[in-house]
Amino acid sequence: MASAERASATEPPAPLRQRVLSRVLADGLVILVILGWWAMAKSLPASILPTPAEVAEQLWLLFTDATYLGHTAASVVRVLLSVALALLIGGLLALLPAGVPWASDIVHRRIQPFLNSFPSIGWAILAVIWFQVSDFTAIFVQVAILIPFCLINISAGLKELDREAIEMGRSFTRSSLKVFLKLTLPLLLPYIVSALRIAYGVAWKIAIVSELFGTGTGIGYLMGEAQQSAKPALLYACCFAIVLIFFAGEKLVLDPLSRSVRR
Amino acid sequence: MEVRAAAPGVGAPGIGALAGIASRPALAAHLFTLIALGAWAFAATQVPPIALSGPWTTLKALWAFVTNPDQLAHMAYSLLHVGVAIVISFFAGSALAFLAHYVPVTALMIHGRISPFLNAFSGIGWSLLALLWMGATHLTVIFSISMVLIPFALVNMKEGLANLDRELIEMGRSFSRRGLRRFVKLTIPSLYPFMFATLRISFGVAWKVALTAELIGGGSGFGYLFDLARQDYRTPILFVVILLIIAFVYCTDRFGFEPVQRRLQRHYGLR
């Protein structure tokens, strides 16, 4: 942690004592927030703040009830598919200038800034006008939002590539494909994983907006429904479900992937 | 974070840029722009106007927009929402990062609990909850944008504090015993590149979430205009708003943030 590197003028506390205190503070905050929430929920109308128990019940249903589970699964599948597609398209766009040097400005000075500046809600509304409400619409919007994040990261990786290693590879073989598969791609892997991590995060944080407008299923759709039909417990549960799914993806897939790439 | 920081470098401005116009990639890019404009104009003749507003129609709508004070007021509101949210999130994120740095027992609480939670919370979630709590007000929009931006500021400032030059700080200690003086004269200037990067990232992300927040929880701003245009099928207004945002975000980043960041990176010896 950053704080560990600090050279303090005062005597630092004993490591064990600090660790315990640190843990107490961290977990204490979580307990305090839940207690504060519960106390506030008692004095506020349920339409504004439902109790933690009501939200927990809805959260449980999101992962166990067949109908709700369908919505949850739809969001997960869409996010995974969109991240994969965005990574593929963004990666191809990033690689294009390597093979076609005159296309570098097209990619980095036209396509990238355009996609990067395009408002996410703009994609969502235009896609509904163009393709109506459908799964394709939701995935299209998510992919459009995620592409620039993948493109920027993979382009950064290409810039940082070890030129000498690539040159050396070229002296061993004339096959560009072989150099790409055996050298370029492995060297790019940390950046690809980084792009994957960012795209995954942005998909759940921002791109889920596509489900609010573009489809009749998914957690984003449920959130809109919960808001319109005054079901605040469901709205809160959807928010926490996203947090849980996000963490699960990070801990179960992305972190191990990052570690294996670093090795 | 890395997303914006990793933005590709650009050629030198001025004479270099003039020379670049004649270069092959620049020429190809200009040609691409023309082809894209041509394709847009052609596509607009092939589909109903409700689906696609052509370049000429959009240009006329843009003129009507910029000459209408009511519409311009919405632009000003969006700028206000984004600006205030960036300031709030910058200070809130920085305060949390400083607290974790200078009071190490709070580090786990901040970087192990608050930051991951905020980082995982959905932007629409904040907008819908804020609407529930505060109704359709400016505060709702600013709150939603700020909550999305805080983790970006927190993570970036944490990086900055972790990269502080410890030898410089030690040397400062030998010159002055006043912690506040060292903080103001040494720590803060050392953090300038990270502060700037935080502002740059926040600016980019803010525009991605501001419209959604305004559409869901506000009665003003580009997002609100978007909602009206969507309901009345006024496609040209949608295109005008998108065009204005693209132009604004691109120009601010290209001609405002990028040169300053380059200068800061040169000055502080960063890449």
In order, the DSSP letters of A16-47 are HHHHHHHHHHHHHHHHHHHHHHHHHHHHS-TT
d(CA A222, CA A62): 10
Q: Tell whether B209 is within 8 A of chain A (Cβ).
A: yes
Which residue range forms the structural domain that includes residue B35?
Answer: 8-46
How many beta-carbon contacts under 8 Å exist across A and B? 201
CA B179 and chain centroid, separation = 33
Check CB contact of A198 with chain B, cutoff 8 Å.
yes
Q: A130 vs chain B: nearest CA distance in angstroms?
A: 6
Measured between alpha carbons, how far is residue A177 from residues A157, A170, A173, A184 in Å? 18, 11, 10, 10
B97 has pLDDT over 90: yes
On whether residue B106 sits in a domain, the answer given is yes
Using the beta-carbon criterion (under 8 Å), do B107 and A130 form an inter-chain contact?
no
The residues in A 168-197 lying below 8 A from B, measured between CB atoms, are 194
In this structure, the answer to whether residues B37 and B158 fall within a common structural domain is no
**Percent residues over pLDDT 90 in chain A:** 53
Please give the backbone phi and psi of residue B9, each rounded to the nearest 5 degrees, phi first.
Answer: -70, 160
Domain total in chain B: 2
Q: Which residue of A has its CA nearest to B214?
A: A121
Per-residue pLDDT band at B89 (split at 50, 70, 90): very high
Give the chain A residue nearest B213 (alpha carbons).
Answer: A121
Q: What is the mean pLDDT of residues B128-157?
A: 92
Q: Determine the pLDDT at residue A123.
A: 92
Q: Residue B4 pLDDT more than 50?
A: no
Select the more confidently predicted residue: B181 or B92.
B92
pLDDT of residue A12: 57
Q: Are residues B27 and B151 in the same domain?
A: no
| Of B12 and B96, more confident | B96
Is B1 a member of any domain? no
CA distance A217 to chain B (A): 16
- Say whether both B72 and B130 belong to one domain: yes
| CATH code (residue B117) | 1.10.3720.10
Three-class DSSP category at B265: helix
Q: Are B28 and B64 in a shared domain?
A: no
Residue A152 at interface with chain B, using a CB cutoff of 8 Å: yes
Q: Does A108 touch chain B (CB under 8 A)?
A: yes
Interface of B with A in 106-125 (CB under 8 A): 106-109, 111-114, 116-117, 119-125
Closest-CA residue to B104 (of B156, B161, B160): B161
B42 and B147 assigned to the same domain: no
Same domain, B38 and B161: no
Residues B191 and B253 in one domain: yes
Average pLDDT of span A45-62: 93
Q: pTM here?
A: 0.84
Question: Does a structural domain hold residue B2?
Answer: no
B161–A223 C-beta distance less than 8 A: no
For chain A, what is the mean pLDDT?
88
Across A237-256, average pLDDT = 93
Among all residues of chain B, which has the CA nearest to that of A94?
Answer: B8
- Whether residues B65 and B166 fall in one domain: yes
Smallest CA–CA distance, residue A71 to chain B, in Å, is 16
Which residues of chain B make contact with A208, given a CB cutoff of 8 A? 122, 124
Residue of A nearest to B53 (CA): A126
| Chain B residue with minimum CA distance to A131 | B51
Q: How confident is the model at residue B3 (pLDDT cuts 50, 70, 90)?
A: very low
Q: Tell me how far CA of residue A248 lies from CA of A80, A253, B75, in angstroms.
A: 13, 8, 39
What is the structure's pLDDT at B10? 37
Largest CA distance in chain A: 74
* pLDDT tier at A151, thresholds 50, 70, 90: very high
Highest mean pLDDT among A3-7, A58-62, A228-232, B184-188: A58-62
Look at residue B120 and tell me if it is in a domain: yes
Same domain, B69 and B15: no
The alpha-carbon gap from A182 to the nearest alpha carbon of chain B, in Å, equals 25
What's phi and psi for B218, nearest 5 deg? -130, 160
Do B216 and B84 lie in one domain? The reply is yes
A212: helix, coil or strand? Answer: helix
Angle at Cα B174 formed by Cα B173 and Cα B177, nearest 5°? 55
* B3 within a domain of the structure (yes/no): no
The dihedral built from the CA positions of residue B52, B223, B86 and B206, taken in this order, carries a sign that is negative
Residues of chain A neighbouring B133 (CB-CB closer than 8 A): 48-49
B190 and B212 part of one domain: yes
Does a structural domain hold residue B134?
A: yes
The H or E element that residue B167 is part of is: helix B166-175
Residues B131 and B21 in one domain: no
Window 26-65 of A, Cβ < 8 Å to B: 26-27, 29-30, 47-49
Please report the ipTM that was assigned to this predicted complex.
0.84
Encoded tokens for A122: 């703009």
Name the residue facing A121 among B114, B161, B215 (closest C-beta): B215
